[in-house]
Copies of this chain bind each other. A is one copy, B any other.
């Protein structure tokens, strides 16, 4: 079983997924119960009752925000502290394990590891999700493949040429090298294609005719956040002219070798064109399905070959290799901390 980095922010849910009902979602092999308090504050607790581990998400939420386990009636206040059990006089010493949770720009970020290390400044800028000059669609796709394969998929976009040739990929992607920069754990890459043919998706999305310039600037914030900055424009157009798009991916380990593949796709043009929005959303989901199919087939090959064969790597793997190394370092750091003192 893959081990997951837990000291890091993961996209736990979109804000509009969580309301005044209880919702279970597995995150880094932990069952999490999400809900909102009466004042709207989103909350995430381990979905195991401290009494006999019954899922709290099968219990119910009172009007005042008290959460009740519906197996034997333990009740927890907004802070997760047990305030009693039904009519019995006992008031057990018990508290829920609550996870640091940040709600920002329509997303709920969860920190499944050591709460003392949770640092909001590690979250990337997502203001474009609420910027009135932008519009976006979002959702989440289930993936039966380990987190690392999704990370590597996004850090090596040459695969667009082969896996997505009818939408976002064409020969230019694989043919154009990337620049990679590493800042601490973070890994950035940049691919600048000039005077190329417009891939079908962008042709239809932007009404462009070839040749075009196309930029792909990726930021991987390990363990689980990836932002892709896309710019496409008729060849030679100067910034800030041109069409800008952005994709936020939340790569969140679920349970075993399954992963939540959260996405938000935004643009800064024709933001009121709902037909275009719908078209882009449909395309985004089609592209993600191609990735899901590929990664699930790849997962079988990893799961059945745990020892691993010697890998061949090339220049275009650089960002993915750096990302893999960043994750390995974080995991090692976390495991060391687990055996000693955790310090921020």
Q: Which A residues contact B (CB, under 8 angstroms)?
A: 29, 31, 47-48, 50-55, 58, 68-74, 82, 85-88, 90, 92-94, 152, 156, 158-159, 161-163, 171, 174-175, 177, 255, 294, 297-298, 300-302, 304-305, 309-316
Distance of A60 Cα from B85 Cα, bound (Å): 56
A-B contact pairs, 25 of them (CB 8 A): A31-B301, A48-B309, A50-B310, A51-B314, A52-B298, A52-B311, A55-B300, A58-B294, A71-B159, A71-B298, A72-B156, A72-B174, A72-B316, A73-B158, A73-B161, A85-B314, A86-B161, A87-B171, A88-B175, A88-B177, A88-B314, A88-B315, A90-B315, A92-B313, A255-B304
Q: A50-B309, A316-B88 are in contact. Are A297 and B175 (CB under 8 A)?
A: no
Nearest-Cβ distance from residue A150 to partner chain B, whole angstroms: 12
Of all chain B residues, the one with the shortest Cβ separation from A48 is B301
Copies of this chain held together in the complex: 3
Given contacts A29-B304, A86-B158, A87-B171, 13 further A-B contacts (CB under 8 A): A51-B311, A52-B152, A52-B298, A53-B309, A55-B301, A70-B162, A82-B312, A85-B314, A86-B162, A88-B175, A88-B177, A92-B312, A92-B314
* Interface pairs A-B: 4 shortest CB-CB: A87-B175, A94-B312, A86-B174, A53-B301
A173 CA to B175 CA, complexed, in Å: 68
- Whether B304 pairs with A31 at a CB distance below 8 angstroms is yes
* Residue from A54, A70, A302 with most neighbouring chain B CB atoms (10 Å): A54
Taken together as a complex, chains A and B put the C-alpha atoms of A152 and B86 apart, in Å, by 19
With A72-B159, A73-B158, A158-B73 already in contact, the answer to whether A54 and B294 are too (CB < 8 A) is yes
Question: Please, how many angstroms separate the alpha-carbon atoms of A3 and B175 in the complex?
Answer: 44
A6 to chain B, nearest CB (A): 15
Residues in B neighbouring A58, C-beta threshold 8 A: 294, 297
A53 touches B174 (CB 8 A): no
Contact B171 A311 (CB under 8 A): no
Chain B residue nearest to A301 (CB atoms) is B53
Q: How far is the CA of A316 from the CA of B92 in the complex (A)?
A: 11
Q: Is A305 touching B48 in the complex (CB atoms < 8 A)?
A: yes
Q: How far apart sit A48 and B58, CA to CA, in the bound complex (Å)?
A: 41
**What's the nearest-Cβ distance from chain B to residue A68, in Å?**
8
Q: B314 to A53, Cβ gap below 8 A?
A: no
Q: Which residues of chain B have C-beta atoms less than 8 A from A297's C-beta? A: 54-55, 58
Collect the chain B residues with CB atoms within 8 Å of residue A88's CB. 158, 174-175, 177, 314-316
Contacts of A304 in B (CB 8 A): 29, 31, 255
Residues of the B chain whose Cβ atoms lie less than 8 Å from the Cβ of A255: 304
- Which residue of chain B is the closest to A158 with respect to CB atoms? B72
Chain B residues within 8 Å of A47, by CB: 301
Cβ–Cβ < 8 Å partners of A156 in chain B: 72
Q: How far is the CA of A63 from the CA of B102 in the complex (A)?
A: 55
- Asked if A54 and B316 make an inter-chain contact with CB atoms under 8 angstroms apart, the answer reads no
